[in-house]
Amino acid sequence: MSTPENPTAVEIGVDTFGDVSSLESGIVLTPAQTLRAIVDEAVLADRVGLDFFGIGEHHRADYAVSSPEMVLSAIGAKTDNIHLTSAVTVLSSDDPVRVYERFSALQGLTSGRAEIIVGRGSYIESFPLFGYSLDQYEELFDDRLDLFSRLITGEPVTWQGTTRAPLENQLVHPAPESPLPAWVAVGGTPQSVVRAARYGMPVILAIVGGQPARFAQFADLHRRALAEFGHAPQPLGVHSPGYIAETDEQARDEFFPYFAEAMEKFSKGRGGTGYSRAQFDRDATRGALMVGSPETVAPRIADTLTTLGASRFSLKYSSGHMPHEQSLRSIELYGTEVAPRVRELLGQRAGATGTTGEGGE
């Protein structure tokens, strides 16, 4: 792939799943305290010039955010420039009309800074919670993405599916003042990529393990599928975990316990065996983890964007009970040192090769 034509247009931001966090003193925060800490982290992200801040949706004791748009609304009242997005909204177990209404309202409250990333999420607790059968796992997402893709046009919708009532020439309110940017998060299966392309939607590739280069096939598939379906080129984004500190050693030592905590919980819930320091060090050296000093992480992000032809990078900055103070320091280094260096590197590569961008609009 090629370096983006205009590196300054590359979007660099952060996201969080809303893990219940702690303080460096060892005190574990309550979910309410975690919500307020997330708002403070987003305010800092805005102050250091990051492009967007994302929040995931979960319905579990280890995560504080069940309604991303509520927290994003609080953030919007305290920030000026940063764009605000879900990361992700679990569309399968929600009603697309209500999702669109809520984010349309957020778009109005924040003067056009709202975005939405829809997906199926990493966990399945929302299905029984809201009365949906896991037997309909695929059907629910297919059906609701089809409806949601029509809602975001802002035009009257006539639609009939299998998982909710049909609509007949229905306008949905409130109408946003500007179009609502919407992405589909995919975990790296061809079917998910093609599904998003069928609706002409941009994708976020969730790269949490292995080498980012192995996702180039999915980036290429998305571009080809968009063309085959007759859609215009769409942006491509990347989401990966990471953590920034003054040195590589400090970053790895500080981040590993909390990342391992989250990975072991996720892995064991699916029959896995946990997550070792050796595996972490491999992932932080050559894999998906963007962990290290600004001098180490910036070139790796630039390489990922270049390899995939992507125009957006989202760093998942929190993990497990990682202290709020560490999150703040990481966000500050990411915004003040990593992001400018990524753009500088991309600019140098574009100038040296004369390539043009394929990943964004």
Q: What is the pLDDT of residues 244-281, one digit of tens each?
A: 999 999 999 999 999 999 888 876 666 667 789 999 99
The CA angle 54-189-90, to the nearest 5 degrees, is 35
Dihedral sign for Cα atoms in the order 231, 148, 75, 16: negative
pLDDT of 356: 41
Please give the backbone phi and psi of residue 343, each rounded to the nearest 5 degrees, phi first.
-65, -40
Q: What domains can you pick out in the chain, each with its CATH number?
A: 7-353 (3.20.20.30)
pLDDT of 352: 77
Written as one string, the DSSP assignment of 97-142 is HHHHHHHHHHHHHTTS-EEEEEE--S--THHHHTT--GGGHHHHHH
Dihedral sign for Cα atoms in the order 299, 302, 307, 313: positive
pLDDT of 2: 47
pLDDT of 1: 41
Q: Which among 332, 336, 330, 238 is positioned nearest to 292, based on CA atoms? A: 330
Q: What is the pLDDT of residues 27-80, one digit of tens each?
A: 999 999 999 999 999 999 999 999 999 999 999 999 999 999 999 999 999 999
The first and second tokens of residue 251, run together, are 């970053």
Q: Can you name the residues that pair with 117 across neighbouring β-strands?
A: 183
pLDDT of 351: 78
pLDDT tens-place values along the chain, 361 residues long = 444 556 558 999 999 999 999 999 999 999 999 999 999 999 999 999 999 999 999 999 999 999 999 999 999 999 999 999 999 999 999 999 999 999 999 999 999 999 999 999 889 999 999 999 999 999 999 999 999 999 999 999 999 999 999 999 999 999 999 999 999 999 989 999 999 999 999 999 999 989 999 999 999 999 999 999 999 999 999 999 999 999 999 999 999 999 999 888 876 666 667 789 999 999 999 999 999 999 999 999 999 999 999 999 999 999 999 999 999 999 999 999 999 999 999 999 887 766 543 333 3
Residues 6 or more apart in contact with residue 313 via CB below 8 angstroms = 10, 11, 12, 13, 237, 238, 240, 301, 304, 305, 342
Question: Could you give the CA distance from residue 245 to residue 252 in angstroms, rounded to a whole number?
Answer: 9
Question: pTM of the prediction?
Answer: 0.94
Amino acid (one-letter) located at 101: E
Q: Is 260 helix (H, G, I), strand (E, B) or coil?
A: helix
Q: Is the peptide bond before 156 cis (omega within 30 degrees of 0)?
A: no
CA distances from 353 to 125, 307, 349 (A): 48, 14, 6
Q: Which among 6, 2, 50 is positioned nearest to 339, based on CA atoms? A: 50
- Which residue do the tokens 């020439």 mark? 169
